[in-house]
Amino acid sequence: MEFVVHDLANALQSGGHDVTVFAPARRDGAEETPHDYTLIRFGWTFRGAYRMGLNKWPLRRAFARSNAERPFDVINSHSAYLATSYAHSLGDRFNLPVLVTCHGADIQREAKVGYGLRLNPKNDRIIRTNLDKASAVVSISPSTYAELDQLLLPEKIVSIPMGIWPPDNSSHGAPWLRRRVATASDDVVVVSVGRNDFRKSFDLGVQAFAVALKTAPSLRYVHIGRDGARLESTASEQGVADRFHAIGEMPRSAVIDAYHEADIFFSPAAVESFGIVTFEAMAAGVPVVVTDGPGNRDAIDSGVEGYVVSVGDTQAMASALARLALNPAQRAKLGRNAKLKSEPYTWPEIAQRYADVMSRL
């Protein structure tokens, strides 16, 4: 979500709009990601300050100063939960419309995996109130729309997906992935990207890879993302430690480069809100294997850009991986289709759709 705010703000700024991002003060002291928009940090950094609403007052002061210099036209909050509670306090005070972008965890509910803020009745009441007060609400995928459709009138919902930067705008650089995992020239590299979180089900991905390897021994599996090293024990248990590689977190540019070296992109997730990494891989011309969980199933048409398999079905995942591994011509065809499918999802186009909604508000 944080990078979506960053990318959308950059794209709007590049499109000629004047964008200010208000974000809570950082506790880690890290350098800011380079950006073209104005960034204002606000509030206290002690734990609980934001959640308890204490930072509404520092935000209001910071917002008032900026608004006095150049009045704002619209507020876009990301997440219908606390961020929108903060946004409404500003909208009420300064008489501004609030456009809410829902990102998944604030709207979706998957009780089987304990996913979704609305599983908590108190959170559900806050989110419903925030949505009711909103001037308009952005749905990022059919899965999030299905939830919003139960809460709001259709005319209040605007469907705008997340975006990716066009390949020409990415820093596609020197190959590093195959050299790092020491693959042979004929190895088929499967890549997954994302934090090793229970919703992502990467442990099942490793299990599926182990099954696929029996049919397609040229496969290698690379995980890029935080806490990936915890998957190494699963790989050892499955007897595939020598062909599984947990790379860890990488700069965004390096991840883009990795897509261009991958043969297959794999998302075994139980639930996604949109699946930006899937579209980034598709933009690099990589066929994908994803589950039919929310968000994931919205990304592709099975058999056209890749394969959609059942959530938790490691046998089906393995079968899809092996099928692609053993058929280079099919990988190439599906990869071309995937690249075409990704083209309407570029940030400049997505930002223009946001700008149209904001102008209407």
Q: How far apart are the C-alpha atoms of 245 and 234, rounded to whole Å? A: 12
What stretch(es) of the chain map to CATH 3.40.50.2000?
2-163+346-360, 167-343
pLDDT tens for 236-267 read: 999 999 999 999 999 988 999 999 999 999 99
What mean pLDDT do residues 190-216 have? 96
Q: Which CATH number fits domain 2-163+346-360: 3.20.20.70, 3.40.30.10, 3.40.50.2000, 3.40.50.2300?
A: 3.40.50.2000
Instruction: State the Cα–Cα distance between residues 110 and 270, nearest whole angstrom.
Output: 9
169 pLDDT tier (thresholds 50, 70, 90): very low
Q: What is the pTM of this model?
A: 0.89
pLDDT at residue 198, rounded to an integer: 87
The pLDDT value given to residue 172: 59
Average pLDDT over residues 118-133: 97
The rounded percent of the chain whose pLDDT value lies above 90 is 84
Instruction: Indicate the range of 7-16, 140-149, 348-357 predicted with least confidence.
Output: 140-149
CB 10 within 8 A of CB 36: yes
**CB within 8 Å of 245: residues ≥ 6 apart:** 180, 181, 220, 221, 222, 223
* pLDDT tens digits, one per residue of 40-61: 999 999 999 999 999 999 999 9
Distant-in-sequence, close-in-space partners of 311: CB < 8 Å, separation ≥ 6: 201, 270, 291, 292, 293
- Give the sign of the dihedral formed by CA 333, CA 336, CA 338, CA 340: negative
**How many angstroms separate the CA atoms of 356 and 290, rounded?**
32
> Quick one: average pLDDT of 274-283?
92
pLDDT given for residue 199 in this prediction: 86
CA dist list (Å): 305 to 293, 308, 340: 17, 9, 9
At residue 71, does pLDDT exceed 50? yes
| Mean local confidence (pLDDT), 219-237 | 96
Angle 252-261/276-283 helices, nearest 10 degrees?
50
pLDDT band with cut points at 50, 70 and 90 for residue 280: very high
Check residue 170 and give its pLDDT: 47
Q: Which of 100, 82, 89, 91 is nearest to 57 (CA)?
A: 89
Per-residue pLDDT at 155: 96
List C-alpha distances in Å: 258 to 217, 251, 265: 21, 11, 10
Is pLDDT above 80 for 350?
A: yes
Per-residue pLDDT of 102-123, as tens digits, reads 998 999 888 888 889 999 999 9
The per-residue pLDDT for 121 is 96
* Mean pLDDT confidence for 7-31: 95
pLDDT of residue 345: 93
Q: Give domain 167-343's CATH superfamily.
A: Glycogen Phosphorylase B; (3.40.50.2000)
Q: Average of pLDDT values for 167-194?
A: 82
> Where is average pLDDT lowest: 107-111, 136-140, 323-327, 352-356?
107-111
SS3 letters across the chain: CHHHHHHHHHHHHHCCCCCEEEEECCCCCCCCCCCCCEEEEECCCCCCCCCCCCCHHHHHHHHHHHHHHCCCCCEEEECCCHHHHHHHHHHHHHCCCEEEECCCCCCCCEHHHCECHHHCHHHHHHHHHHHHHCCEEEECCHHHHHHHCCCCCHHHEEECCCCECCHHHCCCCCCCHHHHHCCCCCCEEEEEECCCCHHHCHHHHHHHHHHHHHHCCCEEEEEECCCHHHHHHHHHHCCCHHHEEEEECCCHHHHHHHHHHCCEEEECCCCCCCCHHHHHHHHCCCCEEEECCCCCCCCCCECCCEEEECCCCHHHHHHHHHHHHCCHHHHHHHHHHHHHHHHHHEHHHHHHHHHHHHHHC
pLDDT at 182 over 80: no
Cβ neighbourhood burial of 232 (10 Å; 0-12, 13-18, 19+) = middle
Q: What pLDDT band is residue 168 in, cutting at 50, 70 and 90? A: low
More confident residue, 298 or 73: 73
Residue whose C-alpha is closest to residue 284's, from 299, 263, 300 = 263
Answer left, alpha or beta for residue 248, where phi above 0 means left and psi between -120 and 50 means alpha.
left
pLDDT band at residue 296 under the 50/70/90 scheme: confident
pLDDT at 115: 87
Q: How many CB atoms lie within 10 A of CB 331?
A: 20
Q: What pLDDT shows up at residue 173?
A: 64
